[in-house]
Amino acid sequence: MVFKRRDKRNWLRATWEAIYPKGGWTRAFHYVRHRVRRLPDSPERIARGIFVGVFTSFTPFFGMHFVFAALFARIINGNIFASILATFFGNPLTFVPIAYASLKTGYWLTGMNVDADRVRHGLGEMFLSASHGLWFNFMALFSNRMPEWTGLEEFYNDVFYPYMIGSLIPGIITGLICYYLSVPVIRAYQKRRNKGVLKARLARLKEKAAEKTSKKAPEKG
């Protein structure tokens, strides 16, 4: 297969590289930035994709950020690949401030009197417990067990709903900042790259013209 990895990874290594990429987060960041700048599209469409990807990384739909980013990018006519790459904004290094901002804003908007700091520290366990609850209820459909919705209802009311509502404001603000920063940077990069390509083409044309001229010139002697 063309895209098959040469070095096979076990599940432990794959999990670790999802948390800490090979070469570090700095190298991963430069790789994503390089890929975004080289996308063959207009700066505005690429920037719209970046806006969507950054915004989506603030939402609590973990595991579905790629899907939602691509869907939203399609709706607003943004670059889909750029939107997927921009979800990299939400990573283990930024998860804590993103979760805190979204929860704090959500509790403020909904008027809930909940300690956002306490919830933030146990957020990972809460999402894991909720996923186990969903799996249990799904398997209950094929057995005699009764589904249990109490824990999931509390999770939705205390965490998921305020997280989802609260993610809108910081997500949109951060996405817009990234949009307006990306447009001039991408445009400048594309102009510089196009100039380089044009110079290379002119140089090749000059070389071909020189070769033709040398062949037509009469030989001495």
What are the boundaries of each domain within the chain?
18-182
Q: Identify the band that residue 166 occupies on the pLDDT scale cut at 50, 70 and 90.
A: very high
pLDDT at 218: 57
pLDDT single digits (tens) 46-81: 899 999 999 999 999 888 898 999 999 999 999 888
Q: Look up the pTM and report it.
A: 0.69
CB 83 within 8 A of CB 72: yes
